[in-house]
Homo-oligomer: A and B are copies of this chain.
């Protein structure tokens, strides 16, 4: 997606060979017009898939997932990162290791919100090692839901998570794939 790639080049900040900050438009301050365009692009990419729900994980995937769900006219369900006293009933649970935060956390999703009847896309802002996405795949498998695809704004291709998921048979659609950030220069995959 050219609009997103241009924005990464203009406003992304490479901090080292691993980390790029895109929090001026994607995951801290959020450019709503860009989110809307991203939602439309995911609609185009997964148009024929009869999606019933969009799934993401809190917090930075929620904005993109909202605008994707808006295009598909389906509910969004976001998995939650910790148990609160306000979660009851039966939940699906998994453990995710955060690359960004450097720790494990428990992720839950209430069983009533995901079922074998659901055809879902998993949406997230960043795909790096793929740990968060695999957590959502685990929850989807527990629910018996059909994962039609995985939609990602920015994939850090050099960390391998996206290609491993493709190898496992998932339809991973990343709007921008960064293959290298050597010498603070972003190189996109063709």
Contacts and interface: CB of A to CB of B under 8 A. Distances in A.
Contacts of A102: 84-85
Contacts of A63: 62, 66, 76
A179 interface: no
Interface in A85-129: 85-88, 98, 100-102, 109-110, 112-113
B67 A80 contact: no
Interface in A50-87: 58-60, 62-63, 66-67, 69-70, 73-78, 80-82, 84-87
Contacts of A110: 23, 28-29
Contacts of A35: 66
A29 B76 contact: yes
Contact of A58 (B15, B58, B69): B58
Contacts of A28: 77-78, 80, 109-110, 113
B66 A78 contact: no
Interface string A1-34: 0000000000000010001010110001111110
Contacts of A81: 59
Contacts of A15: 86, 88
21 contacts: A15-B86, A21-B88, A23-B87, A24-B112, A28-B77, A28-B110, A28-B113, A29-B75, A29-B77, A30-B66, A31-B75, A32-B69, A32-B76, A58-B60, A62-B66, A63-B66, A63-B76, A82-B101, A84-B98, A84-B100, A85-B102
